[in-house]
Amino acid sequence: MQITVNGEKREVRPGTTVAGLLKELGIDYRYMALERNRIIVPKQEYEKVVLQEGDEIEVVRFVGGG
């Protein structure tokens, strides 16, 4: 199944959740936000939201500094 992550096409297995995708990408989701098809997905939903063919995912990581 094909999705887009931050503008790049990516293959994932059917049934992959948002949490599963982030694990595959090696991303610690404590310090980031995620949009699925331009809608923010709450962190408490990451284990429940199953990705669908053609989904567009944007991962935004928080960066500290000043």
What CATH number does residue 6 fall under? 3.10.20.30
Flag whether 66 is in a domain: no
Q: Range of 36's domain?
A: 2-61
What pTM was estimated for this model as a whole? 0.89
Domain tally, the chain? 1
Residue 53 lies in a domain: yes
pLDDT (tens digit, 9 = 90+) per residue, 2-53? Answer: 999 999 999 999 999 999 999 999 998 888 999 999 999 999 999 999 999 9
Look up residue 58 and give its two tokens.
């944007």
Q: What would the pLDDT profile of 35-48 be if each residue is shown by its tens digit?
A: 999 999 999 999 99
22 part of a folded domain:
yes
- Per-residue DSSP letters for 17-31? BHHHHHHHHT--GGG
Query: Does 14 map to a domain?
Result: yes
Asked if the structure places residue 23 within a domain, the reply is: yes
- Chain-centroid distance, C-alpha 33: 9
